[in-house]
Structure 1
Amino acid sequence: MSDKQLLPNIYVIGPQCTGKTTIVTRLRSDVDAWLAGTSLDRPNFVSEVARSAMTKNNFSARDITASKEKCLMVRTTILQAQATAEDEALHTSSWFISDRSGLDPLVYAKMFAGSEATQDLQATSAWKTLRQNGWLCYYNEWIGLFNVFLQVLKHNELPYHIVPCTMEDLTERINFIHEKWRETIGPL
Structure 2
Amino acid sequence: MAWQHFRNPTNRIGHDDTIPEPLLVKKVARTVLREHSFAAVDITLSAERALQLRKLILQAQDQAEEIAGSGWFVSDRSGLDPIVYAKVYASGSGAAEMLETASWVRLREKMRNAAVFVCEAGPKWLTDNGVRLMPRDDEDWTSLHGIFCKVLRDSEIEFTIVSKEMTDLSE
Provide the TM-score with structure 1 as the length reference.
Answer: 0.71
Q: What amino acid is the match of 2:147? A: V
Offset from partner CA, 1:160-180 (integer Å, 9 cap, x none): 0111223232321xxxxxxxx
Q: Is the 8 A contact 1:28 1:45 kept in 2?
A: no
Give 2:117's aligned residue.
Answer: 138
Structure 1 stretches of 5 or more lacking a match? 1-21, 173-188
Aligned length: 147
CA distance in 2, matches of 1:43, 1:168: 22
Offset from partner CA, 1:15-45 (integer Å, 9 cap, x none): xxxxxxx333x33544x33345354343211
Matches within 5 A, 1:35-114: 35=12, 36-90=15-69, 94-114=71-91
Q: What amino acid is the match of 1:27? A: H
Q: Is the 8 A contact 2:33 2:39 kept in 1?
A: yes
Q: What amino acid is the match of 1:113? A: A
Q: Is the 8 A contact 1:63 1:74 kept in 2?
A: no
Provide the TM-score with structure 2 as the length reference.
Answer: 0.78
Structure 2 stretches of 5 or more lacking a match? 122-140
Offset from partner CA, 1:31-66 (integer Å, 9 cap, x none): x33345354343211011110111111111122122
Greater RCO (Cα-Cα under 8 Å, separation 6 or more): 1
Q: Is the 8 A contact 2:120 2:164 kept in 1?
A: yes
